[in-house]
Structure 1
Amino acid sequence: MQPLTVRVARPSDNLDALRQFYCGGLGLELLGEFAGHDGFDGIMVGQRGVPYHFEFTKKAGHPVGRAPTEDNLIVFYIPDQTEWSTSIARMVSAGFAPVPSFNPYWDRNGKTFEDPDGYRVVLQHAAWE
């Protein structure tokens, strides 16, 4: 079976703030963007050559609000100590401070950051098993 390509898509009220969080903080690339597409604006962020990316969209006049809970997570596994430390430092340098995880499991080997919409990203210092 071919590997699946994944697009994680969700609405937002804050495209510019999400661009700063995911590109400036996490270091993902802006892969594409659009405006006025059937009433929607959006950005796609990720890494070129990997089979996933994130799409954030906004529709004028349709507020979406914040994440429903503190346990809505995206987890990035970063086994290399230097790369993990650099990732944490880049987030902090971009103005994003770690927050305590709702589930303390993620605090044992990771750092959690909250994006401008209240969704959480864990930078986990571990290998994917």
Structure 2
Amino acid sequence: MSQPILRVARPTNDIERVADFYTAGLGFDVLAHFEDHDGFDGVIVGRPGCQWHIEFTHQHDVMVDDAPTTEHLLVLYLPDRDEWNAAVAGLHALGVTPVRSENPYWDHHGMTFEDPDGYRIVLQNAAWG
């Protein structure tokens, strides 16, 4: 059985700003982008060779709300301390500061940041499993 590929997709009002957060801030690559695909523009970010990526779309003439709660999280496990420090530094370089997690568990070995749409990203300095 082949491995599935996970794509997390969500709308945004500002593709460039949110793509910059994930590429310049977190070091992801732009894997693909599209314009006016049946009324949608989009960008797909991630890391080449990984079985996951994130897609941000904007439907023409539609405004979407920011994240509905502070518990809508994307958690990135970065067990290598240098890689974790680089991700934190990348976000700081964009002027993004950490926020306190709603669930204090994430503050024990990580930092939480909000992307431009208010969705939270946890950079967890630990291994999964």
| 1:87 Cα offset (Å) | 1.3
**What amino acid is aligned across from residue 45 of structure 2 in structure 1?**
V
C-alpha offsets along residues 59-118 of structure 1, whole Å, 9 cap, x if unaligned?
Answer: 111111100000100000011111111211111012211111111110110000100111
State the superposition RMSD in angstroms: 0.8
Instruction: Please show how residues 109-124 of structure 1 align to structure 2 within 5 Å.
Output: 109-124=109-124
Equivalent pairs, count:
129
Secondary structure at 1:22 match in 2? helix
Which consecutive segments of 4 or more residues in structure 1 shift more than 4 A?
A: none
Q: Aligned residue for 2:33?
A: 33
Structure-2 separation of matches of 1:14 and 1:70? 20
Q: Aligned residue for 2:23?
A: 23
| 1:32 Cα offset (Å) | 0.9
* Structure 2 residues not aligned, in runs of 5+: none
Secondary structure at 1:30 match in 2? strand
**What amino acid is aligned across from residue 53 of structure 2 in structure 1?**
H
Structure-1 separation of matches of 2:46 and 2:37? 21
**What amino acid is aligned across from residue 45 of structure 1 in structure 2?**
V
Deviates more, 1:43-52 or 1:85-94: 85-94
Report percent identity of matched pairs: 49
Q: Aligned residue for 1:69?
A: 69
Structure-2 separation of matches of 1:106 and 1:56? 25
Structure-2 separation of matches of 1:81 and 1:51? 23
Task: Tell me the TM-score normalised to structure 1 length.
Answer: 0.96
